[in-house]
Amino acid sequence: MRANKGLALIVVLWVITLLTIMASSFALTIQRETTITGNLKEKATAAALAEAGINYAILMLFTKDSEQRWKTNSSLYEIEFAGKRIRILIADEAGKINVNQASKEQLQQLFESLAVEETLADSLSDAILDWRDRNDLHRLNGAEKQQYEDAGLNYSPRNDLFKSSEEVQMVMGMTREIYRQLEGLISVYTTNKKVNPAAATREVLLTLADVDEAMVDEYLLQRADSERNGEPVAQPEWYKGGGKSSAYMIIAEAMIDGSITEKIMTVIKRGRAKNGLPFETLKWAENYPMPSLFLPVNNDRVIN
């Protein structure tokens, strides 16, 4: 009888232990799901705020009040909405490298700034030039229709200008990682052969020849000071580039609780659109591959 009671006690203890483990596991699962749900909610909130930032920037870009109108010199603004911070960058597309006009030297310089191996940089540069030229004669390290066929690709070079920056991904030799770094530096929405440094982002300026981070950061601070004081933004002494365009990149990044951020990028072009608006949307992208606008290095660049 006592043996049976002892066995029953052991069984009860095992059941209690098992239930305790199950309850703890269930509580942990609920906690994790609550955290995930909370993070998803915060990310969705940040995305909505970033989109609101885009719309606010467009409003400020087209305001009739010239003193209130936002600048397009890779200008960085910060606003607060619903108690959250939103940073907004507006940059003339002329501040990017025109992939349809860039020379072999410019392209090699661009790839060099991205630490692309020299041989690959040379072949990518030639392949880009072969993609956009109007003949089937491939350059020394380039690629035309035959080379694409030999590589087993089911498409050929356009033999015309790139229609979008995304099309550069199709160039022979281009990798996903290289394009991820390249995407924010190139444009098809400007006709300039040279970058307009007064409108270029820090990342684009660092691709220019014979410059270093100190030179670029000093120029960016001077540029921001000129905008705050209502003065014209001058080009740096170390690089004379092209002029402005009518297409602008807008990046809005919203921060939630100092950690969670969401970023949206759009490119718009000034001019009457079919829907009656004074601009046309050329591109829209989320999770744009560009360093956070909230990095400490950008703090002194905020205009307002």
CATH number at residue 168: 1.10.40.60
Looking at the fold, whether 65 and 125 belong to one and the same domain comes out as: no
Looking at the fold, whether 259 and 283 belong to one and the same domain comes out as: yes
pLDDT of residue 26: 55
Rounded Cα gap, residues 263 and 50, in angstroms: 6
Report if residue 168 sits inside a domain.
yes
Q: Across-strand partners of 265?
A: 251, 285
Looking at the fold, whether 297 and 229 belong to one and the same domain comes out as: yes
> The tokens of 131 are what?
């993609």
Looking at the fold, whether 242 and 175 belong to one and the same domain comes out as: no
Report if residue 45 sits inside a domain.
no
Report if residue 16 sits inside a domain.
no
Report if residue 294 sits inside a domain.
yes
Count of CA atoms in the C-beta half-sphere (13 A) of 235: 13
* Distances in whole angstroms, Cα of residue 277 to Cα of each of 54, 70, 76: 15, 18, 24
Q: Which residue has the tokens 């072009």?
A: 269
pLDDT of residue 96: 95
Looking at the fold, whether 133 and 85 belong to one and the same domain comes out as: no
> The tokens of 113 are what?
């700034």
Rounded Cα gap, residues 81 and 85, in angstroms: 7
Number of domains observed in the structure of the chain:
2
Looking at the fold, whether 87 and 223 belong to one and the same domain comes out as: yes
pLDDT of residue 77: 96
Looking at the fold, whether 247 and 277 belong to one and the same domain comes out as: yes
3-state helix, strand, coil in the chain (%, to 5): 45, 15, 35
Looking at the fold, whether 116 and 76 belong to one and the same domain comes out as: no
pLDDT of residue 35: 47
35: left (phi over 0), alpha (psi -120 to 50) or beta: alpha
Looking at the fold, whether 88 and 114 belong to one and the same domain comes out as: no
Q: Which of 159, 182, 205 is the last residue of a domain?
A: 182
Looking at the fold, whether 227 and 87 belong to one and the same domain comes out as: yes
Q: Which of 182, 206, 236 is the last residue of a domain?
A: 182
Q: Which of 157, 182, 207 is the last residue of a domain?
A: 182
Rg (Cα) of the chain, in Å, rounded? Answer: 27
pLDDT of residue 27: 54
> The tokens of 252 are what?
């809005």
pTM: 0.79
Q: What angle do CA 216, 202, 210 make, to 5 degrees?
A: 45
Residues with pLDDT less than 70, the chain: 1-38
Looking at the fold, whether 87 and 108 belong to one and the same domain comes out as: no
Rounded Cα gap, residues 227 and 221, in angstroms: 10
Looking at the fold, whether 254 and 286 belong to one and the same domain comes out as: yes
Q: Which three-class secondary structure state does DSSP give residue 217?
A: helix
Report if residue 114 sits inside a domain.
yes
pLDDT of residue 6: 60
Q: How many C-beta atoms lie closer than 10 Å to residue 101's C-beta?
A: 17
Per-residue burial over 166-179, b if 16 or more Cβ lie within 10 Å, else e, is eebebbbbbeeebb
Residue 107 lies in domain: 102-182
Report if residue 249 sits inside a domain.
yes
**Strand 186-187 relative to strand 97-98, pairing:** parallel
Q: How many C-beta atoms lie closer than 10 Å to residue 264's C-beta?
A: 23
55: left (phi over 0), alpha (psi -120 to 50) or beta: alpha
Report if residue 3 sits inside a domain.
no
Report if residue 246 sits inside a domain.
yes
